[in-house]
Amino acid sequence: MAGEKPSVELCKGINGLDKVVLREVRGSSAEVYLFGGHVTSWKNEHGEELLFVSSKAIFKPPKAIRGGIPICFPQFSSHGNLEQHGFARNKFWSIDTNPPQLPSNSLIKTFVDLILKPTDDDFKIWPHSYEFRLRVALTPGGDLMLTSRIRNTNSDGKPFSFTFAYHTYFLVSDISEVRVEGLETLDYLDNLKERERFTEQGDAITFESEVDKIYLSTPTKIAIIDHEKKRTFVLRKDGLPDAVVWNPWDRKAKAMPDFGDDDYKHMLSVEAAAIEKPIILKPGEEWKGRIELSAVPSSYCSGQLDPQKVLQG
């Protein structure tokens, strides 16, 4: 409830899985499951959900949760010989009780730190020692921030490389009424055409069929405009040069057991990522990748809020 103290609460979620609930003074909230380090809810001060989670999502490890913000690490999609999207989203994370200092805005008081480290078994799959720290924070204004820090802790002097994505599922009212701004004229790899490289046309991106594209070296701000909901999501990103845009549309929707047949109408994945140039870390080195999500009331057509202003602001 608005007006109460900001809070961070560890509690039980679906199927008794541990989750942390963040609440901010003006009423916004977020939820993150220790399974997968997976954000499954982000609500504004009116209690309105902003992230899509499928009604058919399965909360049974090791199956990844369908929706919210799965984390793809150390491999995006099938770009390598590991399982699809790597293993971080299929692992149990722990609360990081003693995280190293993270320079951040002192106004941000509502956050939780999680950590993922490899088990002996994991070495058989990916023979590297690492520490993956994830901070999930909610600003007083209700923005959601995810900061990942990945450190190579190999003692054998070996570097390792990885690709990465915050696979964010935004909740939209009607996909055919959504526009994405900030990716115009950029090159992209089309996953529906064996990752062939193309250049995007000059206008905002709209949706009328399946899309699965990796935009390369994008601006640090992308706007997702939901006309019907009069809402603009602003995605700001650091350390993540690429952005994936995905909607499975009807046929693929039917093929996914944990996804409703009509769910594609109400979600759009826009994923801040590092794919084209894998991140390479020598022992002792650390990489940081951050997103900040805002949801601002907008009425594009009435010009009240022009996404271009958002993108330039």
Bridge pairing between strands 160-166 and 169-171:
unpaired
Q: 276 or 286, CB closer to ligand TA6?
A: 276
Among residues 28, 13, 20, 106, which one has the least CA distance to residue 59?
A: 13
Q: 84 or 217, CB closer to ligand TA6?
A: 84
Annotated catalytic, 49?
no
First to last CA, the chain: 31
Least distance (Å) from ligand TA6 to the CB of residue 159?
A: 26
One-letter amino acid identity for 135? R
Least distance (Å) from ligand TA6 to the CB of residue 97?
A: 30
Rg (CA), the chain: 19
Annotated catalytic, 271?
yes
Q: Is 135 annotated as a binding residue?
A: no
Rounded to the nearest 5 degrees, what angle is found at the Cα of 162, between the Cα atoms of 54 and 128? 110
Q: Is 66 annotated as a binding residue?
A: yes
- Which residues here bind ligand TA6, judged by CB under 6 A? 64, 77, 84-85, 167, 191, 212, 244, 246, 269, 271
Least distance (Å) from ligand TA6 to the CB of residue 237?
A: 15
> Which residue among the candidates 128, 167, 227, 292 is catalytic per the annotation?
167
Least distance (Å) from ligand TA6 to the CB of residue 165?
A: 7
Dist. CA 157–CA 267, nearest whole Å:
43
Q: 52 or 246, CB closer to ligand TA6?
A: 246
Q: Which residues contact 55 (CB under 8 A, 6 or more apart)?
A: 260, 263
Q: Is 84 annotated as a binding residue?
A: yes
Bridge pairing between strands 242-247 and 144-152:
unpaired
Q: 77 or 232, CB closer to ligand TA6?
A: 77
Catalytic positions are 167, 271
Binding site for substrate: residue ranges?
66, 84, 89
